[in-house]
Amino acid sequence: MLTRPHLATKLTYWSNATAFVRPSHHPIPLGNEPTNTPRLALRWLQTRAAHIADQLDPAESRPALHWLEDHQEHEHALHLLTQGAAYRFTIYDDTTRYVLTARQVQLQGHRL
């Protein structure tokens, strides 16, 4: 008798960065990354936030730089991700809104 291989569902995390430029507010993808753990998803967000902050004027980069050092907020993000909730951090400048998100996703179709 033929049996079908069991297709498993794999839990992973999806992180992405998107810019929204005024006045159009059309999304501009800045990158995304699948990761295996919430900590790696958060690390990816931190790296992207640092890249964005490096390109902003000093006054506009302060909130992002503060977030990069805010360990309590990072623990909050990890808690949300491990509970299955999404986490979002937004950076603003005069003309652009940068949205960094991480969320839990299930990939289907992996054979066991």
Is 80 exceeded by the pLDDT of residue 50?
yes
The predicted model scores a pTM of 0.84
Residue from 100, 99, 89, 91 nearest 60 by CA: 91
Residue from 41, 26, 36, 43 nearest 95 by CA: 26
Q: Quote the pLDDT of residue 102.
A: 98
Residue 31 is which amino acid?
G
Listed by start position, the domains of the chain span 8-111
Among 2-16, 25-39, 53-67, the minimum mean pLDDT is found in 2-16
Q: Quote the pLDDT of residue 4.
A: 54
Among 19-23, 102-106, 107-111, the minimum mean pLDDT is found in 107-111
